Chain A
Amino acid sequence: MVDSIVDIKTTTKADKVSTNQIKIQVKHFNFYYDTVQALKNIQMDIRMNTVVGIIGPSGCGKSTFLRCFNRMNDTINGIRYEGVIEIDGRNIFDKTLDVVDLRREVGMVFQKSNPFPKSIFENVAYGLKINGIKDQNFIAERVEYSLRGAALWDEVKDRLNKSAFALSGGQQQRLCIARALAVEPEVLLLDEPASALDPIATAKVEELIHELKKKYTILIVTHNMQQAARVSDYTAFFMMGELKEYDVTNKIFTNPKEKITEDYVTGRFG
């Protein structure tokens, strides 16, 4: 069991974060695939405008955990959960909550970029259009805003009508981030967003994450511990469905409290 609220009195990267306001609270959360318990009594507070890196060996439950925040797991048969996840104080499993609204509020970017077979412009505008927005000027403004937010605008502004598939892998991934930003989410879930990218594209995505946290609260699952160390303010270490340690990132990577975390981050098992 770990402390749900991390002490940030010591001088750390996270001290520079602008707010201490809690954005997300996970309370006694359990998750099951049929009879298999994938997440065990998770308790975690996530501060607004911070990046939380989620690390752990394969099968530890970190992607399952990430997909809970926009209820992506709901599409899987036989899943069950107990406990509460609150965003801005509201339980996301509340029966009165519209899942479509939740997914607008909680955007997600996957490991493999998945642009739609449409133009660059249409990819970003898609979320707006399916949400019933018809004002073309508004859509054009929002597309530019989102592409700028994803640090892609300068690279694509002269070819917005070209197919998204003409972009490089790194550009496609940033296009997916732009697509997520277009509907103005408050939380961004990134599931290994740079694992298929080359080092230059990875660096761009990491820089982007650093910029985006000024406006969004970000959870990132990554297998790359150096990446978690670079981009996140807090790091959560998962192991066999349990949150073993959750602390400010510099503490996890210089002096973790738990031996099992130490063994994982130093590569003594994996």
Chain B
Amino acid sequence: MERHLDEELEKLNVDLLKMATLTERAIHNSVEALKQGNKELAEAVIANDETIDEMEIRIEEQIIDLLALFQPMASDLRFITTAMHINAEMERIADLTVNISQRAIELADQPLLKPLVDIPKLADQAKWMMNKAIDSFVKHDENLAKEVILSDKRSNELRSLVISELITDYMAKDGSTVPRAVPLLLVARDLERICDHAAAIAEDVIYMIQAKIVKHHREKLQGGS
């Protein structure tokens, strides 16, 4: 039986996917702006954040209406609460891309301290995790969600690598590198946080599918359920 609620859930799903597309694009563009020293692209990311903010509010209102009007139960309830969390996570990711874009603008007029090697790797990791987290949501793919969560370890390692290299090889040796090293350090931190939010989305997906909260207990995911 097709329910009125199904139509509303489909609308919510479509809006979340639009928001995911915008967020993924923001990650990509902010990193490209940094790599290319492209101020215009960075400014575009900052300007687009308003659209994402508005979308977050619209989706949140949609969710509140669904809860109030339909009083959903079981899998419907889990889908809607997951959507609510994912919505908030994506908005935070978008805010972090604004930070990265601001750093890109700061660095655009100066020569790069060093060729970017690990930051692009971390950026690829963030894009992969975000993309797969959303994929796992769309496809209700629990295994993919687990893969995303477990891969978060790699983002922590890359961030530590970037930070220790910047401190040991540059800032500690030559104080004049600090103004160009600190923005890169902040970018590494922001990218790693994006990975954390992507992992949180994947955790929500597992709740949606299994009604099991795995937050704070990632070790339980090792070697199966």
Residues of A at under 8 Å CB distance from B? 225-226, 229, 253-256, 261-262, 265-269
Contact = CB atoms under 8 A, between A and B. Distances in A.
Interface string B65-101: 0000001111111100000000000000000000000
B76 A254 contact: no
Contacts of A268: 1, 3
A254 B74 contact: yes
A254 B77 contact: yes
Given A226-B71, A266-B72, A253 B77 contact: yes
Secondary structure of the A side of the interface? helix
Given A267-B5, A268-B3, A269-B1, A255 B73 contact: no
The CB with the most chain B CB atoms within 10 A, among A226, A262, A267, A268, is that of A267
Interface in B181-225: 211
B3 A267 contact: yes
A265 B73 contact: yes
Interface residues of B, number: 12
A255 B78 contact: yes
Contacts of A229: 73
A262 B74 contact: yes
B73 A253 contact: yes
A262 B73 CA distance: 8
Nearest to A256: B74
A265 B1 contact: no
A225 B72 CA distance: 10
Nearest to A226: B71
A149 to B, nearest CB: 30
A262 B71 contact: no
A254 B1 contact: no
B71 A266 contact: no
13 contacts: A226-B71, A253-B73, A253-B74, A253-B77, A254-B74, A254-B77, A255-B78, A256-B74, A261-B74, A262-B75, A266-B75, A267-B5, A269-B1
B1 A255 contact: no
A75 B211 CA distance: 45
Contacts of A256: 74
A246 B141 CA distance: 29
A61 B5 CA distance: 28
The CB with the most chain B CB atoms within 10 A, among A225, A253, A254, is that of A254
5 closest A-B pairs by CB = A255-B211, A265-B73, A253-B73, A262-B74, A266-B76
Contacts of B77: 253-254
B220 to A, nearest CB: 15
Interface string B18-61: 00000000000000000000000000000000000000000000
Contacts of B72: 266
A250 to B, nearest CB: 10
